[in-house]
Amino acid sequence: MIHCHRWREIEISSPADLDGSRKVFPVLRKVAVSTWSHALSKITIVDAPLLCEASIAANYTTWRDVRLPWVQLTSLSLETFDALASCLFILRHCPKLHTLKYRAVQAPSTLILDPPITLESLNSLEVYNSCCIIPHLTLPALHQLTLSMEIASAIDPLRALLSRSSFQLQQLTIILLKNDRTKSDELKLLHQLFPTVTDLKLEIRAVTGLHRIIGSLSSLETLPLVKNLTIDAVRVRDEYDSLLEVLRTQCSPDAGTQTLERFGLILCPQTDPGSPSASTPLPKSAAAQFGALAKSGLTCHISL
Q: Is residue 157 part of a domain?
A: no
Walking along the chain (304 residues) 10 residues at a time, the average pLDDT comes out as 88 85 95 78 91 88 78 95 84 97 80 89 96 95 96 94 95 89 89 94 79 78 86 75 84 64 81 52 84 88 82
Q: Is residue 16 part of a domain?
A: no
Half-sphere exposure of residue 157: CA atoms within 13 angstroms, side-chain side: 19
Q: For residue 247, what pLDDT is reported?
A: 86
| CA gap 193, 144 in Å, rounded | 14
Q: Is residue 138 part of a domain?
A: no
Looking at residue 116, its amino acid is: P
Helix, strand, or coil (residue 4) = helix
Neighbours of 133 (CB within 10 A): 22
Q: How many domains does the chain have?
A: 1
| CA gap 77, 32 in Å, rounded | 9
Q: For residue 98, what pLDDT is reported?
A: 99
Q: For residue 274, what pLDDT is reported?
A: 52
Would residue 71 be called left, alpha or beta, if left means φ above 0 and alpha means ψ between -120 and 50 degrees? Answer: alpha
Q: For residue 63, what pLDDT is reported?
A: 56
Q: Is residue 276 part of a domain?
A: yes
Q: Is residue 93 part of a domain?
A: no
Q: What is the DSSP string of 20-56?
A: EEEEE-TT--EEEEEE-SSSPPEEEEEE-TT--EEEE
| CA gap 263, 294 in Å, rounded | 10
Q: Is residue 75 part of a domain?
A: no
Q: Which domain holds residue 265?
A: 168-304
Q: Is residue 7 part of a domain?
A: no
Q: Is residue 296 part of a domain?
A: yes
Q: For residue 266, what pLDDT is reported?
A: 85
